[in-house]
Each structure stands twice: as C-alpha cells, then as structure tokens.
Structure 1
Amino acid sequence: MYYMILHGRRLIELQKCRHLILAAQNQNPFFAFSNSYSSTSAAAAVTHGRKGQNFTVSYLVDSFGFTTKLAESISKKVTFEDKRNPDSVLKLLKSHGFTDSQISDIVTVYPQLLIADAEKSLAPKLKSLQSRGGATTTSELTEILTKAPKILGIKKDKALSVYYDFVKDVIEADKSLEYKKLCPSSLPQGNTHENKIRNILALRELGMPQKLLFSMLTSGSQLVCGKEKFAESLKKVVGMGFAPTSLKFVNALRLVYGFTDKTTEGKIEIYKRLGFSVEDVWTAFKKWPSILIYSEMKVTNSIEEFLALGFSRDELSTMVKRFPQCIGYSSESVKKKTEFLVKKMNWPLKAVVSIPQVLGYSMEKRIVPRCSVIKALMSQGLLGNGSELPPLSSVLTSSDEKFLNLYVRKHDGKQLIPELIFIFNRGRLSYNS
C-alpha cells in the first residue's frame, strides 16, 4: 500500500511529512532495535530453505488462489522446489472427479498429498476404492476423501478399506434427520482397527465433530487404539468438564491417557514446590492441557526467568492462570518481549501481568510495527491523551483493522496516513523480504 501511495501526487505530501519518522527516530532508540531485529530475522529466514518455501507459497497462491498467509502456513508443513510432482497429483485428482474446491480443501487439510507419488501410491488407492464391488460412485468417493483426505496416506489395503467404510457410515448417518448410532465393523475382538473404530464411535456419541474424529481415525496415535484404558481416560476428561467439540478435549484426553496417576501427581508436585496450589494447576490445565508436559527443569527455568524480569510470584501465578501457555515460552522470547514492552516502550510490568497473551505475539508481525506507530504519534503529541501511552490492550490485542482505525486512519486530515502506514508495514516488509 505504501509503495502505491509513494508514486504519484502523494509524493509531495510524503516529503512534507518525513519529519514524523525522523523525529521518532531521533527521540527513540527503539527504532534501531527494530531495524536490527528485522535484519536478523530476514537473514535467518533466507538461510532456512527459503528457496523451496518461496516456490511453495507462490505455487499455492497461483494454483489454488490461497491467501499468502494461508500459503505460508501450509509451506511450514510441506515444501517443494518444482511443480512436476504437485501438478501430477492435481491431474490425478481431477481425473477422478474432484472439483477445484474439493482439491483446495484437501490440500489445506493434508498438503503432504502434493509430494506423494501420484502413479505408484495414490492412483492404486483411488482405483481400489472406486472399484470396490462397483458400489462406490465418483461423488461418494470425492465427498469421503475430501472429508478425510488423510485416508490416502494409509499404506495397508485392509486398513484403507476399513477406515473408508467408517467415514462413509458417519457421513451418511450425519446426513439423516434422525441421529443414528453406528455399530463397529465385524472385525476380530481386540483388533487394532476394531478398537480404534469403537473408541471413535464413543467420541462421536459425545458430540465430537467429524473434523476431529476423522483426524484421530487416520492418525498413528495409540490414544484410540486401546480399550479399557481409553474408556477410563475418557471418563476422567469428561468429568473435568472439557467440551468434546474442541481440540483442547483431544489434547487433555491424550495427556490423561498417556500419564499414570503417579506421573500426574509428580507433575502437580513440581508446580506446588514452586508456589502454585493444586487448584491453580488444574485451572491452568483446563485452559491449556499441555502445561503438564514440561519437565521440572523447564518449569523451574521458566519461573526463574520471570522472577529475574521483575515479576513477583503472585503476579506469575496470576499470569499462568490467565494464560498458561506463557510457562512454555523460551526464556529468550519472554525476556526479549518483556524488556521491549517495559524498558523500550515504558509500559508498567503490571500491564503485561494483566494481559500475558502479549508474550505470545510475534515481534516482527505485531509488536514492533504497532509500537512503531505509537512512538511516532507520541513524538508529535498526536495521541488523544498527549504523550501518555495508550493501554497495552488497545495497542496489541485488537485486530489489525481496529488498530488502524484507532491510531492511523483518524489522522487523514493531517496527511499523515502514508507515513503511518509505512511505519506499520515496515516490520512486515522486512520480515517477508
């Protein structure tokens, strides 16, 4: 957006407003930090397989019309440096009746399919499923595999057929006006496939959505392969009040299933020795089950870092109860963000305590760009409250659209928007270069 504005009649306005950035730079050393931070990030990104990732992002955007943000997210799961293999996969799917919309959905959920061997791996599976007893229609095949594309990653023919039939039954039952209970396939008792389907049926009856059900069905996790232990773990998690419709339920079930009572007690003891009550730990667990994953050394080091930064134990307890994820962040990340917000920007430490989720925000994409705008406005006395900092929550927790409305677009009459947009986008431009 800045570059579009830069060329043309607005160039004169930009030159007149240039003092805004210069004044902010002279007054605040934080801008040097911003430039250094962005340069380091860009250099690191370039050395980390940037070529393949760039090609993958471009391919996903051009072939499927994905947004750059979605394409970048997918490129973290799979990358490729030429289009031969993904093109062959797309050609195969289209030859079997998949629409462009269905293929886009499949790639979003299971992008690894783009690097599968179309001829040796995917084609035989599609042919097998489509010709099973002559009963599978093209529309049925495409609907089922769009709902659960990871089925195509299953190697064994028997498991492929069993899971395909199960997904088909669930989809058909859910289309019925009357909720149907499904019976497990006639597989030998104790068989892994039978156990998995029985357990997933139990989750379905609790109201777990198809997306989570099918993901667990096609995973290699032992979680849904057992019998008595699964039932016991499921009862515990339901009793804790987790909603079966959420991924948090799955994560809690996974942890309860994987831990013995002794292991769980040991994890709680770690937090108790560091000043947390049992109630504190379970409150945090219900918000973020992964809090019980960490070792005593990890938790201890994390707490010591928070204390070294000036947080009290009571404040840390409050932060963990509000946003338990913060205990798992690296010491380097917590220190960098806290020192930036408190020392560079001058927000009080209690502001971070009140909204600890800010420690999970990206320096490059959110914290630095937004704080740059605030510093520039303060340097010119253009904030409504003079030179006083606005609330941390309004600066960092709001959406981009709301932030721009609050701090950028309101200055249209002062011809400052081009410079403020430049400041806002600077971190992102450097990060994506």
Structure 2
Amino acid sequence: MIKSLSFNSHLLVMLGNFGFQNSRRATSHGFLFCLKDQTITKMKKDARLRVDSELDGSLSLRAVPPTLIAAEKEEAKAVLTLFFKKQGLSNAVAARIINKSELFIDHLVSRLHSVHKSRYLVGRELTTLEIRDALIPYLESLLEEHGSMLADVVESFPHPPIKDKPITLVSPPDSAPDSKQVKAVSRVTETSPAGMLRPQVVYLMELGMDLEKIKLITRRFPAFAYYSLEGKIKPVVEFLLELGVPKSDIPIILGKRPQLCGISLSENLIPTMTFLEDLGVDKKQWAKVIYRFPALLTYSRQKFKTTVDFLYEMGLSSENVGKVLTRCPTIISYSVEDKLHPTAKYFRSLGADVSLLLLRCPQTFGLSIEANLKPVTQFFIERGYTLEEIGTMISRYGALYTFSLADNLIPKWDFFLTMDYSKSELVKFPQYFGYSLEERIKPRIALVKKAGVRLLLNQILSLSSRNFENALEKKMQQQLQLTDQV
C-alpha cells in the first residue's frame, strides 16, 4: 500500500509504471499529453524524488541527491542525442532540440526511477548501460508511434506537437555551443572557496590527465563531469590497474572511452570480460586489449556473437577466433553486413585466402573497398600483375593493403625497378613493402651491389644484421670459388 503520497506524486509513479509496460498504448491514447501546466510543474519537482522502503513495507519518497539527478539528466541527454543522430539529424540539430526539451528529459529521468525502483531502494546508482537499455526501447516505441514528428513530440512534451512543423537538418552557421557542454565544462573547472578543484578532477590529474584533456573529454561526453569519484571513476581505474594496465595508459584509455566509468564492474564489465574469455580472448592480454580498444567492453553480447559467427563462417577455428579478438579487438566495431561480408567477398574475388587474411591482418577488414582496397589492386594490375598473383601476395602478406600508395607503395616500387630483380620476386616476398626504404632497403641493396653478389630478396631484408652479414660473406666466398674454378 502506498502511504502519504500527494496526488501528483502518486500520478508520477503511475505514469512511470504505465509507460514502462505499455508505452506504445499510452502514447497512442494521448496519455502523455493530458496533464495541465500546474501539474507538470509539480511533476518536475516530483521527478527529483525516489522511492525508498520503510520497515513496514510501505513506500515513501525522499529526495535524490541533486548531483545524481544532474548526472542522470546528462546520461538521458546523451542517449537522446545518439538516438536522434541515428535518425539522420546532425549534432547541432539534435542539441538544439534537446536544449528545448527540459520537460521531456525530466520525463525520461522519471522513467528511470520507475523502471529501476529496486536499485533506488538500496541506494545504488544506475550504470550507463542500464540507462541506455531502459530508454532506447521507449524511444523506439515513440518513433514507431510518431515517425518524423518525434522531434516535435520531444520539444512540445507534454503537449501534443504542432502538425507539419518542419525540421531543419542543416545546422545554422552561427549556432551557439551546446549548453550541456558549457555546463559540464564549467563543472570540471569550478573551484571551492578554498580554491580546490572537484575531487574527481584532482584524482584524474594525479593520474596524469591535465585539465585541458579533462575539458576535452567533457565536451565530447558531458556526462563524464557528473561521474562520482568513489562510486564510478575510482573503482574502474583501480580495476584497470589490477589488470596490469600501466598508470600512464589510464588517461589514454579514459580519453578514448570515458563511458567506461559509467559501467558497473560487477554487473557489466567483469561479466563481459568473462564472456569474451569464453570466446577465446587471452585473459593475460587484457591490459593490451583494453588499451587498443577500450570501447570493446561497452558492446552487447549480441554484437560479439554476430562477429564471432562471421569468423566461424569464414573458416577460423575457435582458437584462432580468440587470437583475432585479442590482436584486433576493433573488429567487433565493424558491421558484419556492411563491412565484413563485403570485404571478404572482395578478397575472395582476388583468390585470397580469407581465413588466413583474417588471422594475420584482421584490421584490413576495416578498410574501405572503394577508397583503399580497389586503388591498391589497380596499382598492381597497372604494373602487370594478374589477379591470381595479387591474391597470392595479399594471402602471404595481409598488411599489404594497409599501406599508402603515395607514401609507401609507389616510392618502393620505383626503387624496386632499379634493383634488377624480376617482378615475380614481389609475389614471392610481398613483405618487401613493409620495410623502411631509407633505413633498410636502400642500405642493404647498396651493400649487395658493392659486394657484386646476388641474394634472394627475403635474405636481404628479413635477416638480422648479423645473419645478413654472414649470408653476404658466404655468398662472396662462393663467388670467389666459382671464379677460381674458371
């Protein structure tokens, strides 16, 4: 039984529960737009309340800390911004809509309090993933209900939107900075009467992150400014250090993915890592994996499964799947349908061994077919290589297609033409393009020419300095013996 609730407070709880279970039906009956102005004002105040359990099992309301409300609002704004961007709106347009939608943001926060009442009962903050998972389905239901009018629904909430109001997809040239960014940056730079920065800012600076870097992260992800030190930032940092991540790498990791600090260790990060270890990720390499791609830990298990299924489909063993995920965790970010499958099809058209290529150089699958792969293929075709030879080259040296034409392939090809080797040598040893022209190729070729002998291309470049000198000396002795016999 609910005791001592005002009518409007009671209505807020009912609204949250009703919306969570029947959001589509509620919106279709205009339920979201039936409240009077004075009731809305009261609801905004009630949104700052949380449900708490009393000894007799009844429900009462007590104030949520203002800092937590502010953090949840920023998280809700981030989710709504991302949702609008996925619908094709620019950053500026999405920000402009959200800046006019304070009541709707309050409504999203009230939904969080309703959906996750049990979390508030024990005084636990929601993680970024929990907030996203609670709000995205609701926003999708509103999109299905209102279609192109969704932006108007958000702006005019809780009143019905004005029909046929146009939405401009082009940002005005003089658009003002995003207000949430300004507020967030102001928060991380403000000082106490004693001249001290906030504890979380001081902590981050002690880790080696300067204030400008913190401000840059905050502009990109305003919710970061509202993360608590003891509840979110510090536990994640200490966990990373325990994994073996060097302290000097922490600022880089948080700079790449500040959202990590909003994710629960016990309910999200650690279970996700365990799941990935079951897929074959080397648990001893977590420090390197996270440094390479910290966003890995923020993807859903369904996304992991989709990518892993693709790798199995391409013929990789479970052991090699683990190696790919460990060496190139960014492959999880590639779309299977839009990127991985088309790239595999393209390399197969060249006769390349796709499974071998995925194992040796998975980052090749993140390249654009039109902008990166086809120009390299055309480069070798114009120099007389067949598609079969090109396929052999890429199978033997997966990184071949990752090199720049202007800065790598063309100058090294031009020098190769002066070396008096058959172009078939590059089919046998395409790794030639992976060595430094000035520091490796030119100096060693000069020594071979000076000695008046001939070595295989892989002998010249792949051997260590001592082994190269031994091979060169041995070849010179053989040359002398042949001369003496003649």
Normalising by structure 2, what TM-score? 0.43
Q: Which has the higher contact order (CA 8 A, sep 6+)?
A: 1
Normalising by structure 1, what TM-score? 0.47
